[in-house]
Amino acid sequence: MNHNLYMQFYPHFERHPDKVLIDTPEGDQYRYSDVLARSRRFASVLKALGVSPGDRVVVQVDKSPQALMLYLAALQVGAAWLPLNTAYTESEIEYFLNDAEPRLYICRPDDLEQARGLAERCGVAHVESLGVASDGTLMDKSEAGSEEPQIAEVGRDDLASILYTSGTTGRSKGAMLTHGNLAANSQALVETWQFTEQDHLLHALPIFHTHGLFVACNVTLTVGGSMTLMPRLDVEQLLDLMPRATVLMGVPTFYTRLLASPRLDRERTANMRLFISGSAPLLAETHHDFFERTGHAILERYGMTETNMNTSNPYDGERRPGTVGMALPGSEVRITDRDTGKPLPDGETGLVEVRGPNVFKGYWRMPDKTREEFRDDGFFITGDLGLIDEKGYLNIVGRDKDLVISGGYNVYPKEIEQWIDALPEVSESAVIGVQHPDLGEGVTAAVVLRDNARLDEAQVLEALKDKLARYKQPGRVFFIESLPRNVMGKVQKNVLRERYADTYQQTAAHH
């Protein structure tokens, strides 16, 4: 049997070729047959470039229908799809190319020159480009090529994708996701959220993360549904499109920004079946406000790049604000003691651990790191802290891992601290996340200068500009005499978080 994830989508292409699968706010429409034809053309180009099953294809392109067709082509040929955040800078990309050793690197048309240089330095054989105006070298080659109908035969444990997650050590780790992981998870979500081919999804998330790529697209493709692909979150556009959609998936910032628009009301959301939130904690207050305004109870779920989705509030039962619901069908969740690793009874707070067909097979070329994060019985230690409440719902109460989540994007403080510490004027630094009304958490730095050294906030920010993607750069930089430490010498980030708690309180939700 062929376990290629694409086999889960393919029957719909045969069944209703004339149905529109993707449309855009500009009014472009792509039928199932159009998507099939183009993805097959892309597949033939990939094959011609020597991309074989298991080969990595690194992709840093702007969101477009063509980018999704390319994703399907990669599945068809059995390549490992490796998308990169479009905000990554050259030095960030260089790391991924060296680490992943892709056969092919696909960039934006404007980046082609720079990409060729990078590829040469990193020993990548081929570079192509793909743009949002149906342009780029890949598009040109696919015009000239043929439609490749073959679907690569793969096993359940074969690699479908690598998604990099920021590492605690500052080094990004590639999470290896298999065809079996992705297929099982999208089936579990279809069942839990009662998706059908009647569903039309509003897609405003980036497609380089598990949320916008696998949760949103794989679920839609699994049922043979349709979606409107928006380049980014634009709340007014979202509200314009809502009357002809049925589902929205977003990070909490989507919902706080929607609430900031007076146009959000019952009438505008009347055709909607379901609003889903994830990737960061949704405030109970947001849930209540949204319910009051629209009559819809936002359904919150919990996931992670390494594990896909783990838990969800129920579709039919009570959707409890401030909780992330129960384990998805086929998956297990338990809470364990932070020190002993022993399972804890309901009501007690500990590490959230998960097991199931959704859980990844390990970090790319990091067997030690992989071993550290799995228990002997196969449970994966998420690094989140939680408890199971009296009704059996998982509550995420914090993080054991030193992670900041800003607008649904993960930022590991270590990576930013390393760049700040590298400045000659700096003695040491600590980066924390503090409450931010729009983004959930705002990246914030506390910096200790060397004796007699002088440096101001603007200079620190300037120094980080080319090094780090925009969303990782601190919103504010504060200078302090010394970092607070406990008796063990460990920096007390909680003390810093308290000290700077009000930093962004004046930053009202905009847009």
Rounded Cα–Cα distance for residues 372 and 351 (Å): 14
SS3 245: coil
Reported as half-sphere exposure (CB side, CA atoms, 13 A), residue 146 has a value of: 5
- Among ligand AMP, ligand MLC, none, what does residue 184 contact (CB within 5–8 Å per kind)? none
Those residues with Cβ within 8 angstroms of residue 68's Cβ, 6 or more apart along the chain or in another chain? 22, 35, 207, 217, 229
Residue pair 285/259 in contact (Cβ under 8 Å)? The answer is: no
Tell me if 407 contacts ligand MLC by CB under 6 A: yes
Nearest distance in Å: CB 416, ligand MLC: 12
Q: Closer CB to ligand MLC, residue 56 or residue 211?
A: 211
Tell me if 325 contacts ligand AMP by CB under 6 A: no
Residues 292-311 that bind ligand AMP (CB under 6 A): 300, 302-305
Tell me if 251 contacts ligand MLC by CB under 6 A: yes
Nearest distance in Å: CB 403, ligand MLC: 10
Candidate segments 69-77, 87-95, 274-282, 285-293, binder of ligand AMP by CB under 6 A: 274-282
Count of residues of this chain found to bind ligand AMP when the rule CB under 6 A is applied: 18
Q: Closer CB to ligand MLC, residue 130 or residue 309?
A: 309
Select from 184, 396, 432, 443 the one that contacts ligand AMP (CB under 6 A): 396
Angle (CA) 300 302 307, round 5°: 155
**Residue 413, φ and ψ in degrees, nearest 5:** -50, -40
Write the burial class of residue 230 (CB in 10 Å: 0-12 exposed, 13-18 middle, 19+ buried).
middle
Long-range contacts of 374-379 (CB under 8 A, 24+ apart): 375/341, 379/332, 379/334, 379/336, 379/353, 379/354, 379/355
Tell me if 165 contacts ligand AMP by CB under 6 A: yes
Tell me if 304 contacts ligand MLC by CB under 6 A: yes
Rounded Cα–Cα distance for residues 448 and 479 (Å): 6
- Among ligand AMP, ligand MLC, none, what does residue 399 contact (CB within 5–8 Å per kind)? ligand AMP
Select from 12, 40, 211, 355 the one that contacts ligand MLC (CB under 6 A): 211
Nearest distance in Å: CB 190, ligand AMP: 19
Q: Closer CB to ligand MLC, residue 65 or residue 407?
A: 407
- Among ligand MLC, ligand AMP, none, what does residue 290 contact (CB within 5–8 Å per kind)? none
- Among ligand AMP, ligand MLC, none, what does residue 386 contact (CB within 5–8 Å per kind)? none
Tell me if 468 contacts ligand MLC by CB under 6 A: no
Rounded Cα–Cα distance for residues 300 and 499 (Å): 30
- Among ligand AMP, ligand MLC, none, what does residue 31 contact (CB within 5–8 Å per kind)? none
Per-residue mark of binding to ligand AMP, 119-158 (x: CB under 6 A): ----------------------------------------
- Among ligand MLC, ligand AMP, none, what does residue 251 contact (CB within 5–8 Å per kind)? ligand MLC
Nearest distance in Å: CB 327, ligand MLC: 15
Candidate segments 102-110, 134-142, 303-311, 344-352, binder of ligand MLC by CB under 6 A: 303-311
Tell me if 187 contacts ligand AMP by CB under 6 A: no
Angle (CA) 110 88 64, round 5°: 55
Residue pair 133/110 in contact (Cβ under 8 Å)? The answer is: no
Closest CA to 254 of 212, 219, 220: 212
Rounded Cα–Cα distance for residues 163 and 326 (Å): 25
**Residue 422, φ and ψ in degrees, nearest 5:** -75, -15
- Among ligand AMP, ligand MLC, none, what does residue 281 contact (CB within 5–8 Å per kind)? ligand AMP
Closest CA to 287 of 322, 311, 337: 322
Tell me if 386 contacts ligand MLC by CB under 6 A: no
H or E segment and range at residue 432: strand 426-436
Angle (CA) 147 150 153, round 5°: 155
Q: Among all residues, whose Cβ is closest to ligand MLC?
A: 407
Reported as half-sphere exposure (CB side, CA atoms, 13 A), residue 445 has a value of: 30
Residues 469-488 that bind ligand MLC (CB under 6 A): 470-471
Tell me if 85 contacts ligand AMP by CB under 6 A: no
Tell me if 233 contacts ligand MLC by CB under 6 A: yes
Closest CA to 324 of 252, 400, 224, 253: 252
Select from 102, 224, 225, 278 the one that contacts ligand MLC (CB under 6 A): 278
Residues 349-388 that bind ligand AMP (CB under 6 A): 382, 384
Quote the radius of gyration of the chain (alpha carbons, Å).
23
Nearest distance in Å: CB 246, ligand AMP: 21
Cite the DSSP H helix spans in 132-242: 137-144, 179-193, 210, 219-223, 235-241
Per CB under 6 A, residues contacting ligand AMP are 165, 210, 278-281, 300, 302-305, 324, 382, 384, 396, 399, 405, 410
Per CB under 6 A, residues contacting ligand MLC are 205-206, 209-212, 232-233, 251, 253, 278-279, 303-305, 406-409, 439, 470-471
